[in-house]
Structure 1
Amino acid sequence: MALDQPAEISNEPKARLRAASGRSTASGLFRYGMTLPTIVALALVVGFPLLFALFVSTHAYDLTEGGIGEFTGWANYAKTLRDDLFLNAARNTAVLAVSVVVIELCVALGLSLLLNRPGLRFRNVYLAILLIPLLISPIAVGMIWRLLLHPELGAINWAMGLVGLPKQEWLSGQNTAMPTIVGVDVWHETSLMIVIILAGLTALPKDPIEAAAVDGATAWQTLRTVTLPLLTPVLVVAVLIRLIAAMKTYDLIYILTRGGPGSATETISYLIWKNAFTSLDMGNAAAASFLLLVVIMILTVIMVRVTRVGSES
């Protein structure tokens, strides 16, 4: 009996280990069970349409000819890449995206630096006012600016007339339509960059900035040699977020210009909609969608890597 007792004692840790393992397995199964509905919903809402669009992009799918036709492989992609309308839309998309991102970055960085000044009175009031455009839906923004920019009844042309300036065809002029859309987008989306950059500024370590002040650095020298290098990962993320969103711009184009005059403001997203629901050529529309998706995925991977490097540093 005395010899058997150590064996019983030595078995107790094994029993506790098995019990803990069972609880861990049950807990893991419970977590997976709780996330299963979300996974199924994402698979139905995102996965199935994505796979179906990929299927459509490799087939002749024209609704005017009775639906899905024969398998065409990469023919839709080749046709899209050779299409002058797609190349024009890609060029317009690049011009729009780069223009709004550069302007928004400069404006947002300047305003964020002003809002981050120590001792600034009514800081929250200023920030709340600057965030108002971001709270308005893009469709409402488009409708508001369409009224303001009306050539005869718009408030902007009326104000220009008061100071003796000629009226402008803001949305129908070949040389004014795209700059006008850029301006409306900057008005609407700069607030998002302000939020991101201001959050980055408030999270910066104070020691390097205080050390620069002790060394006699001016405000400009501190900004150029200390603040901006520390803020670079945040700026890159802000730029990539806005670049991705700007490349998908559709709603402002639809409300303000419908891609006109001619095709001067057609973006890839608007061209996809027009091919799918005006020309009813689903195959080419799906191919253009995946070409845009590839570019956005590349930018997303870059953003994730920059964010990871910034968090590690």
Structure 2
Amino acid sequence: MKSATTSMNLRAPHLARKGDELSLGFYKFVFMTPTILVMMLVVAAPLLYSFYLSLHEYIVTYGQGPFIGLGNYVLLMGREFAGVSWVTMKLTVSVVVIEFLIAFSLALLLNQSWLRFREFYLVILMLPMLMTPVAVALMFRLMFNPNLGIINWLLSLVGIPAQGWFGDPNLALATVIFVDAWTETSLMLIMLYAGLRSLPQDPVEAARIDGANAWQILRHVTLPTLRPVILVTLLIRMITALKSYDLIYILTQGGPGKTTETISFYAYRLGFRFLDIGQAAAVSFILLIAVVALTLVLLRILRER
């Protein structure tokens, strides 16, 4: 009897802790329930309904048609969708590479101990990020205007003829990339600069004592330790670049022809100009799958590193 009582006494704290954990888990679930319900209403419900529409023939003027399965996705596998996908890929790769090189160079410069007025420069470089993309697009649309824009006026001063920046198929995408780089580099700069400021200085000091120069420190110390920040920065920028829409809408409307039409703008054109909601939903889900796949790949690389 005494042994049984002792055993119960030994088990009592364990049972109490288990009961506390169950109670804590229950309260966590209760407090998270409103958030879960809101997320289901705001995110999950529209997402599922969009997927449902992508499996049906749905023209706004005629209403919802019959279930066609993957018919909308099959219809998209043509030359037009391949063209907008290629434009999206060129735009994404170009802006990510250009913006990363500029942002990383500026972050390294701002991180130098000898630099004075660092905060002032940082505030100036953050200004493009604080402006709305629509305002930036309207500003550059005026600046690149072939007749009244200041860019062509400056070129005329050195004898260069006026250019149709958004009307020339050879210049339109490059001009959009330039505007995008001016707008979005600030975000990458802030993330990379914060990563540089958070790096431990002991490895850098040890490398200097061993006689390493600035390039060797950057290559063998800074870049390896900063790799997680770089991967996260590239991931975020790639996702936003794949979804590019606002600058395209204001600057070029996908033209001239379709030289600057991205997947997001293609979905808008199908849904709001041609009123084909089924195909527009299918395009959106293809873009969603691409973004999720890219995210999983980069997160796997991040875990391995």
- TM bin, normalised by shorter chain, reads over 0.9
Distance 2:230 2:24 in 1: 40
Superposed counterparts of 1:238-249, under 5 Å: 238-249=233-244
Q: Return closer, same or farther for 1:223/1:14 CA change in 2, 3 Å cut-off.
A: closer
Determine the structure 1 residue equivalent to 2:96.
101
Alignment equivalent of 2:230, drawn from 235, 239, 245 = 235
Between the aligned partners of 1:217 and 1:304, the Cα distance in structure 2 is 32
The answer to whether residue 32 in structure 2 is matched with residue 38 in structure 1 is no
Which residue does 1:52 correspond to in 2?
49
Structure 2: runs of 5 or more not aligned: none
User: 1:293-308, aligned counterparts within 5 Å?
Assistant: 293-308=288-303
Secondary structure (helix, strand or coil) at the match of 1:78 reads helix
* Aligned equivalent of 1:158, options 153, 165, 187: 153
Choose which of 165, 169, 175 in structure 2 pairs with 1:174.
169
Query: 1:62: which partner in 2?
Result: 59
Counterpart in the other structure of 1:266: 261
CA distance 1:155–1:218, shift in 2 (3 Å): same
Is residue 278 of structure 2 the alignment partner of residue 283 of structure 1? yes
Task: Say which of 57, 67, 71 aligns to 2:67.
Answer: 71
CA contact under 8 A between 1:151 and 1:168: conserved in structure 2? yes
Aligned-residue offset at 1:211: 2.2
Confirm or deny: 8 A CA contact 1:233 1:306 kept in the other structure. no
Deviations 1:79-132 (A, max 9, x none): 1012x2211110100010000011111111111111111132111111111111
For 1:156 and 1:29, locate their aligned partners in 2 and report how far apart those are by CA, in whole Å: 63
Asked if 2 retains the 8 angstrom alpha-carbon contact of 1:237 and 1:306, the reply is no
Aligned pair in 2 of structure 1 residues 236, 19: CA closer, same or farther (>3 Å)?
A: closer
Distance in 1, Cα, partners of 2:190 & 2:165 = 30
| 1:8 shift after superposition | 6.5
AA paired with 1:63?
Answer: V
1:16 & 1:113 partners in 2: Cα distance? 55
- Looking at structure 2, the residues matched to 200 and 20 of structure 1 have their Cα atoms a distance apart, in angstroms, of 40
Kindly provide the CA deviation profile for residues 249-276 of structure 1, in whole angstroms up to 9, marking residues without a partner as x. 0000001110011111100000000001
Cα distance in 1 for residues equivalent to 2:11 and 2:201: 52
Percent identical among aligned pairs is 47
User: Alignment partner of 1:132: what SS?
Assistant: helix
Deviations 1:205-233 (A, max 9, x none): 32322222122222122222322233233
Does structure 1 residue 24 correspond to structure 2 residue 34? no
Cα RMSD (Å)? 1.9
Distance 1:223 1:12 in 2: 61
Partner in structure 2 of residue 223 of structure 1? 218
Equivalent in the alignment of 2:138: 143
Question: Which segments of 5 or more consecutive residues in structure 1 lack a partner in the other structure?
Answer: none
Distance 1:224 1:47, change over 3 A: same
2:293 and 2:4 map into 1 onto residues whose CA distance is: 61
Aligned to 1:214: 209
CA deviation map 1:160-192 (0-9, x unaligned): 223332221111111111001000000011111
